[in-house]
A and B are shown apart, each in its own frame.
Chain A
Amino acid sequence: MNRVAALVLVVALVVTARHVAADDAGRFATMALGFILIAAAIVGEAASRVRLPRLTGYLVTGLALGPSVLNVLSPRMARELDLVNGLAVALIAFSAGVEMDLEALRASWKSLARHGGFLIGGLFAGLFAVALLVSPWVSFTAGLPWARRIAVALVFAAVMATFSPVVTVAVLAETRARGKLAERTLALVVMGDLALVVLFTVSTAVAHLLDERGSARLGVGMLLGKAAGHVAFEVLGSLVAGIIAGVAVAIYRRLVHRRSGLMVVATCLVIAEVGSRLGLSSILTSVMAGVIVRNVASEAAQEMQDVLEHVRVPVLVVFFAAAGASLHLAQLMELLPVVLGTVLVRAGLIQVMNRVGARAGGVPAPVARNVPAGLISQAGVTVGLVIVVAESFGAWGRAIETLSLAVISLHELIGPIVFRAALARLGEIPPAETAPAEPQPG
């Protein structure tokens, strides 16, 4: 009741302010940011009471306030939240890194490598094969020569083979889930992010070769060399930057003894902003920084987790509300049959390849059965790739963008729900998180 009264007052304040403001171009972002934070947090809390992930509530709020429905949050405003989005991704990835104990990982790395290798490689190969097979019947590839169809299939497979570390970590953080499924899924999505850099860079380089315009501009050797250099720079550069950032945090902690959490937030902001300017993966960099802090300055890790716990909630709320505002509802409805087909094929391939990989890696059956639920989500990183594709490959690149954005929208909505359900099924969510929270009297 208190929350409803407060929300009504806030809505009245914001609506009145918009009504009486002299012009709309002014400082709207701060007010809107606060409004989104409150509205999404309230809806997220309501979602948790019906055993849905809170972040589904945040997404739905963003969707409702975004251009597709109420248009309170315009696309320009969603772009203005880039600073928060960059920070959110880095912060979430850092939290994932802080969870990774190298000693524990050493014991299972062979199993993980086999599982992930078969899963990611098989998923990519399967998606490529299906895309190529159906290309004669797809509107934007039907008239293309085979070389270009291969290019389209390669790029589409690279985009669709991605997972969402951000969603995975967010679900694990809000449910406080601990167990084999949580650990395995987290490790696989981080591995997937590493593989994504390689797969996407190589696929787009080969697609450029097969695409007439691309091959006319650059020679084969130069293009492949460039791709190899890009992969090496992004992967190695991100890992080195992460080590430097992690060591910097550890040194700060040792010398200053206070405000380490604040230092982590500042470091994540720097990673997000500088990393994107230098072409590094902010996810890999932040995970690496977190791993270093956990394994070099372990005494600081718990203290940082406590601070991150407080910062994480508002950052996640804003991040997923902004993501919800960017969901392409109109495209989703327009392309629903194709989108559903793509979603089903991807889900089927994840299921099959996971089974193969889990068997090769000796993963216990209950965990293996539930891992695919954690791999459905796709989010911000994939959207970034899709935009690169649209800018690089003309008409068919834009067609892939349209289809992929619609598919990502659906994955973003259903992914957290199925993952949370899987964690609950295996009993990895502590009881306090599975039961609806009791409101404080008052």
Chain B
Amino acid sequence: MPSGFSDAQLLGGLALIALLALVGGWARLVRLKQALGLEQLLAGGFLFLPLGMLLSEAGLGVVNRAVVRELDPLVTLGLGMLGLLMGLRLEIIGPRQRTILASAAMESLSTIVLVGAPLFVLLDIVSPADLQRRATAAAVLGCVAAISGGHSLGAVVRRASPGQPDLVTRVADQGTVAAVLVAGVLVALLSPTATLVPLERLLALATIGIVGGLCTWLLSRGTSDAALRGAFQLGMLLVTAGTAAYLSLPPVAATLLAGMTIAQVSGSLARELSDSLGFLEPPLTVLLLVIAGAALRMPTWRAGVVLGFFLVLRTAGKILGGRAASAVSKGELPRLMGLGLLPSGAVALGLALDYAHSARGRLGAVAVAVAVLGLLLSETAGVWTTRLLARAKLPESTPPPTREKTP
């Protein structure tokens, strides 16, 4: 690990992380968290964001730029992991799927447009940049806004309607997938490099994802040793996410495509991968949260204005998008569904971090500040909004079919 901080700072930072890990998992404290109503807020591990701020260069100085640079492969792996797991767990077969997909697309796209278009204009006023960079930043922030955290919503919905299929959470998950794919397409089209034109970049993103998925399947198929198969799968995740990052394309979108490819080719492998790689999800999510917290620079008035507009527009986008999705579903989804979609998720941070890495400069810093602070505020507000949703009567429905029978 690079130097630049004292041993005391390092040990202090590690002690804090260890304490949080212990507090997070201590069985007796789980009951206390439930009693205080903090379970939902803590489930996503979002307390690691303020911890990242505390450990940042401006705070204890442990997670400085050199450390962030050294941890870059792990951060890319974490981003790739989020995308892959989303793709693997995506249920795209079933009688209600058309309704869910249409509702999710409606909700997600309306939020992207409602947030992205005004921010495109606003960014010109508060942080002037050329048209292309502004368009990319606004598009990424629109996609960040469209992402909904299924983790908190799912728990509330399951409690409110035990035994009922969780349509709202499925809409949230598929809306997030749509947002990540749109972000991937827009970043590929809007930020060409010296050697690749926009369409070539789009093609590259699709190729990386599909080849990544196919190779994971090929390598897993011929290997009986579980540990070796795990090594191959991890290697392919690194190659897929790493190749995308190397070409300045979003790793989350590339691995999402890989995950979808795997799920299409072999449902049983998708389930196996989801279980085996799920082991790495908590530490990598924690790492992402800490790095995102540490990457936050105290917002200037400009970023503050963007954040304010972002929160208002996102709330409006989610509520209106939820209504539109409910209309599309012909009443199968509650009209207040947007309230449950307000909590965001680590994927939003992943998109913002990845954009900041390739964009650098002021716009990248604004994107991270908006994503981090927006996430914290929306998660806090989400504790109450999801309860409001839970009090509303959720529509009854039949259980969703399974994607594929396990052999």
Residues of chain A whose beta carbon lies under 8 Å from any beta carbon of chain B: 1-3, 5-6, 9-10, 13-14, 17, 20-22, 26-35, 37-38, 41, 45, 80, 83, 248, 252, 255-259, 262-263, 265-266, 270, 273-274, 277-278, 307, 309-310, 312-314, 317, 437-440, 442
Contacts and interface: CB of A to CB of B under 8 A. Distances in A.
B231 A35 contact: no
Contacts of A439: 222-224
B218 A83 contact: no
A317 B276 CA distance: 18
6 contacts: A9-B218, A13-B212, A34-B240, A262-B283, A277-B7, A440-B221
A261 B218 CA distance: 29
A309 B193 CA distance: 42
Contact of A10 (B72, B74, B239): B239
Interface stretch (B35-43, B82-90, B172-180, B245-253): B245-253
Contacts of B312: none
B231 A10 contact: no
Question: Majority SS of interface residues in chain B?
Answer: helix
Nearest to B17: A266
Given A30-B73, A262-B283, A274-B14, A35 B218 contact: no
Question: Majority SS of interface residues in chain A?
Answer: helix
Nearest to B219: A6
> Nearest 6 pairs between A and B by C-beta?
A34-B238, A31-B242, A30-B242, A34-B239, A37-B235, A2-B222
Contact of B228 (A5, A41, A256): A41
B16 interface: no
Given A13-B243, A17-B246, A35-B239, 9 more contacts: A17-B243, A26-B248, A34-B238, A38-B239, A80-B73, A258-B25, A259-B282, A263-B21, A440-B222
Contacts of B221: 2, 440, 442
B114 interface: no
A2 B232 CA distance: 12
B189 interface: no
B234 interface: yes
A313 B228 CA distance: 7
Contacts of A22: 193-196, 248
Nearest to A39: B235
B243 A259 contact: no
Contacts of B219: 2-3, 6, 38
A5 B73 CA distance: 26
Given A20-B247, A262-B279, A13 B211 contact: yes
Given A5-B218, A20-B247, A27 B228 contact: no
B222 A31 contact: no
A380 B227 CA distance: 24
B225 interface: yes
Interface in B1-54: 1, 3, 7, 10-11, 14, 18, 21-22, 25-27
Residue in A26, A34, A257 whose Cβ sees the most chain B Cβ within 10 Å: A34
B236 interface: yes
A47 to B, nearest CB: 13
A438 B70 CA distance: 40
A121 B19 CA distance: 44
B119 to A, nearest CB: 27
Contacts of B72: 27, 29-30
A38 B232 contact: yes
A123 B200 CA distance: 63
B245 A27 contact: yes
Contact of B214 (A9, A32, A314): A9
A263 B231 CA distance: 20
A82 B226 CA distance: 26
A45 B225 CA distance: 10
A252 B235 contact: no
Contacts of B74: 83
Contacts of A30: 72-73, 76-77, 238, 241-242, 245-246
Contacts of A6: 214-215, 218-219
Residue in B224, B239, B248 whose Cβ sees the most chain A Cβ within 10 Å: B239
Nearest to A252: B22
Contact of A34 (B194, B196, B237): B237
A429 to B, nearest CB: 16
B247 A17 contact: yes
B101 interface: no
Interface string B191-213: 00111100010001001100110
Contact of A273 (B1, B207, B237): B1
A437 B224 CA distance: 9
A310 B26 CA distance: 25
Contact of B242 (A27, A45, A258, A277): A27
Interface residues of B, number: 63
B10 A41 contact: no
Nearest to A2: B222
Contacts of A17: 243, 246-247
A31 B27 contact: no
Contact of B227 (A9, A26, A31, A310): A310
A214 B208 CA distance: 57
A310 B73 contact: no
Contact of B246 (A27, A41, A310, A317): A27
A46 to B, nearest CB: 12
A41 B231 contact: yes
Contacts of A312: 227
Contacts of B11: 274
A37 B240 CA distance: 13
B234 A37 contact: yes
B26 A255 contact: yes
B400 interface: no
A1 B223 CA distance: 11
B165 interface: no
Contact of A9 (B1, B215, B228): B215
B299 interface: no
Given A21-B195, A255-B26, A10 B204 contact: no
B230 interface: yes
B236 A38 contact: yes
Contacts of A256: 22, 25-27
A9 B211 contact: yes
A9 B219 CA distance: 11
B232 A41 contact: yes
A34 to B, nearest CB: 3
Nearest to B218: A6
Interface in B318-340: none
A11 to B, nearest CB: 10
Interface string B91-120: 000000000000000000000000000000
Nearest to B18: A248
A185 B396 CA distance: 66
Nearest to A262: B283
B242 A314 contact: no
A189 to B, nearest CB: 23
Contacts of A255: 22, 25-27
A89 to B, nearest CB: 14
Given A29-B242, A31-B245, A277-B7, A38 B25 contact: no
Contacts of A265: 283
A21 B27 contact: no
Contacts of A10: 211, 215, 236, 239
